[in-house]
Amino acid sequence: MHITQVHAHLHSGEFSDLIFVEVSTSDPAVSGWGECTLPGKPYAVSGAVRDAARLILGMPVDSIRRVWETAYRHSYWRGGAVETSALSGIDIALWDIAGKLAQKPVHALLGGAVRDKIKAYANCGLSTDPLELARRAQTAIDAGFQIVKFYPLPPTAALPQTSLISSVYDCCAAVRDVIGSSRDFAIDLHGRTLPHTVIAIEHAIRDLRPLWIEEPVASEDIEALSRVRRHFQVPIALGERLFTRWQFKQVLDRGLVDLIQPDVGNAGGISEMRVLADMAESYHVAFGPHSPNGLLHTCASLHCAAISQTFGALEFRPSAITNQIFDGEFPMLGADGTFPLQSTAGVGLSVQPSRLSFDDARVPRLAEHGVDGTPLDW
């Protein structure tokens, strides 16, 4: 059985544009689905899928590693967010096919799960309003989540106002009051801050016991991470904007991270997530996949979480509207904030193309500006 077609499908989801990859085979009854959403870049990623498809058409569907290496190393220009995302979507789809042919869930093909259930945390989104974040946290707790994460920081200038630190503290304190001492919260700063600012934020909130601070500075800035690391007591999480083992090696070798958060749809697919999970274990670092996109993406992430010895928690952002495009049954969150292991053959869900709808006007413009018009990090 060989690959006959690779096609990218675009959809306007509730929170972002979504990108799916469908791999067709020489058996019309067998196909696979992957997701490689890179918000704000649907045309670039779908184009990269077409570029990679030219290289792998006709290859056996079970040559997953060879397809990965071919797509990664082609045309001399390696890696990067766009090309690695395209590769990730193809890789997930091939693992989906492998599971369907074996009539086993993907985690069983990766050596089997090391746990019986998968701890999840709720992505509560961005807000600088303590009352709004407290409300969202309460909703998540009511749904069963034991961990919440939120974004309490607006786009920030190089020299932020002194009130910024107090604002972040107030948001964290409000959430801690709602969730109590038996549950946990984490904050995500999207790499928006310079070292001196995030060091002040960490010092202000550390007594509230956040589980981690995510992307305190730009993840590719090794010197800034090193400076922050020297001053932090709160664990550092990062990785959603790092791609493949070679970029993660830079932060792991230097001991700059406590929790790596690779994205199965961007970092290299299920094949590379298996490598990254093993790297995390060898460096005594936790592994917690970044997963705020579609349910297909979440399903793929669940398989990766199942096989990781140092797995911590999986990100989840529910969307009842977006969920309607999928066929199959997604695992239900338990009262203890965990998902059961998947038993469906393959990744677990497929996309119904007739339900997809893409609107260019809804592609997010991930750009922010300061009061003086300066472009700022989103």
Write out the catalytic residue numbers.
190, 290
With 0-12 CB in 10 A as exposed, 13-18 as middle and 19+ as buried, what is 221? middle
Angle at 168 between CA 165 and CA 173, to 5 degrees: 120
Q: Partners of 186 in the beta sheet? A: 149
Q: How far apart are CA 313 and CA 18, in angstroms?
A: 23
Classify residue 46 by burial, with Cβ atoms within 10 Å: 0-12, 13-18, 19+.
buried
Query: Which of 260, 292, 295 has the alpha carbon at shortest distance from 34?
Result: 295
Residue 123: strand, helix, or coil: strand
With contact defined as beta carbons under 8 Å apart, do 310 and 280 qualify? yes
Burial of 173 per CB tally in 10 Å (0-12, 13-18, 19+)? middle
Give the C-alpha separation, 357 to 349, whole Å: 18
